């Protein structure tokens, strides 16, 4: 249920020589014009002092120094001032990323990929508490999904995601964890599946989402991630040859522990109609779900999480609407749009 990826903290910077009349200023400390040895990074020049071993950004590896505008998470990770604007630290942002990934995956894979029990509690943690101490492989777990099944067959879903990560990286993890929830609902107890295959199916969802969103760098990271012991590459090829419906049908109806060989072919069709493009934005506001966090509730409006009193911009097909959540009721939400005097009631 976890997604492990390398946490890169090594900083790659090239040593260059200063040319006459060239003014370089250090992007870390701001000192300049620089003379002598300087180092060039993706963000610009770095002075020799700042390039010495010290704290580094957990996203890009840039050296960070006190007072340079970097953020620090509860578990001691630093996020440099350049990556900080695109990193997520608040639970509401994480829930929006998860809702967007969920919507896009159902659009890509078809309605059969929707959860039968749609309520999902999404949390964000700034402590990498599930990563074992002293790991020698450099892998950290960035997400966790769990499903509790009641005796009556009802499912309760929960996802937790690691904070301080870039939005596109968090979206890939959200896709992975959402797929765990779907597998938890749809895989029969009698169908035992190899753990690497389970994780590869979840990584395949992340890979497909990143492909649809034109994120080749994230696709490459997923393929190179050693977490599935190479199974993700095999699943990508199977999906190309057989289609995503074949793989999802196998989860529900297969009998083998992995997808290798003809015996893995399912015997019952799911009726999925996958596409290769993201679904179009809706023309109107839609109340699609309710996120429960402890005693608090948030309404999901067009993939955006709203608590009572929240005011946010929502993208529609032909326009952007300013929405304020006035009240959340049982199966209904009361909204105000673009500061209009009349309120709007949306049914779930």
Domain ranges in the chain are 7-84, 89-264, 287-347
Burial class (CB in 10 A: 0-12, 13-18, 19+), 306: buried
Are the CB atoms for 196 and 229 separated by under 8 Å?
A: yes
Are the CB atoms for 178 and 102 separated by under 8 Å?
A: yes
Q: In terms of Cα–Cα distance, which of 253, 247, 242, 314 is closest to 285?
A: 314
Give the architecture (CATH level 2) of 7-84: Ribbon (2.10)
Q: What is the pLDDT of residues 64-92, one digit of tens each?
A: 888 888 898 888 889 998 999 889 888 88
Are the CB atoms for 288 and 314 separated by under 8 Å?
A: no
Extract the runs of DSSP E, i.e. beta strands, from the chain. 2-6, 14-17, 37-41, 44-47, 71-72, 78-79, 87-88, 120-125, 139-149, 155-162, 165-166, 287-293, 296-301, 304-306, 311-315, 320-329, 332-337, 344-347
Helix axes 216-224, 231-242, angle to 10 degrees: 120
Q: What is the pLDDT of residues 300-348, one digit of tens each?
A: 887 777 888 888 878 787 777 888 888 888 788 999 888 777 888 888 7
Q: What is the mean pLDDT of residues 255-275?
A: 59
Taking 70 as the threshold, does the pLDDT of residue 110 lie above it? yes
Taking 70 as the threshold, does the pLDDT of residue 14 lie above it? no
Task: Give the number of other CB atoms < 10 A from CB of residue 293.
Answer: 16
Provide the total of helices (H) and of strands (E) in the chain, helices listed first. Answer: 6, 18
> Confidence band (pLDDT; 50, 70, 90) for 277?
low
Q: What is the mean pLDDT of residues 127-151?
A: 66
pTM of this structure: 0.71
| Six-digit token string for 269 | 């069709």
Provide CB contacts within 8 A for 333, sequence distance 6+. Answer: 287, 299, 301, 306, 325, 327, 345, 346, 348
Q: What is the pLDDT of residues 190-230, one digit of tens each?
A: 999 999 999 999 999 999 999 998 889 899 999 988 878 88
Q: In degrees, to the nearest 5, what angle opens at C-alpha 39 toward C-alphas 34 and 45? A: 60
């Amino acid at each position: 249920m976890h997604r492990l990826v390398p946490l890169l903290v090594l900083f790659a910077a090239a040593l260059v020589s200063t040319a006459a009349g060239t003014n370089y200023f250090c992007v870390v400390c701001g000192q300049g014009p620089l003379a002598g040895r300087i180092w060039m990074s993706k963000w610009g020049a770095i002075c020799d002092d700042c390039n010495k071993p010290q704290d580094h950004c957990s996203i890009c590896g840039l050296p960070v120094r006190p007072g340079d505008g970097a953020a620090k998470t509860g578990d001691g990770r630093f996020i440099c001032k350049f990556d900080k604007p695109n990193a997520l630290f608040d639970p509401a942002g994480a829930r929006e990323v998860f809702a967007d990934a969920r919507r896009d995956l159902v659009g890509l894979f078809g309605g059969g990929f929707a959860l039968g029990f749609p309520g999902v509690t999404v949390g964000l943690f700034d402590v990498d508490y599930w990563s074992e101490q002293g790991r020698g492989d450099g892998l950290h777990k960035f997400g966790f999904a769990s499903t509790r099944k009641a005796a009556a067959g009802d499912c309760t879903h929960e996802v937790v995601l690691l904070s301080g990560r870039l939005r596109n990286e968090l979206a890939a993890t959200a896709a992975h964890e959402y797929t765990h929830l779907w597998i938890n609902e749809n895989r029969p107890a009698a169908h035992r599946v190899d753990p690497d295959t389970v994780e590869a199916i979840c990584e395949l969802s992340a890979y497909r989402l990143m492909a649809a969103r034109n994120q080749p760098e994230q696709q490459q990271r997923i393929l190179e991630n050693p977490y599935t012991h190479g199974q993700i590459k095999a699943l990508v090829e199977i999906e190309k040859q057989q289609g995503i419906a074949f793989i999802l049908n196998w989860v529900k109806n297969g009998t083998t522990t992995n997808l290798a060989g003809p015996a893995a072919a399912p015997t019952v069709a799911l009726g999925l109609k996958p596409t290769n493009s993201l679904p179009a934005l809706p023309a109107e506001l839609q109340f699609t779900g309710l996120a429960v966090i402890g005693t608090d509730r948030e309404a999901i409006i067009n993939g955006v999480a709203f608590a009572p009193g929240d005011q946010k911009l929502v993208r529609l097909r032909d326009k952007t609407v300013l929405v304020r959540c006035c009240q959340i009721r049982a199966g209904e939400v009361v909204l105000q749009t673009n500061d209009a005097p009349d309120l709007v009631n949306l049914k779930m």
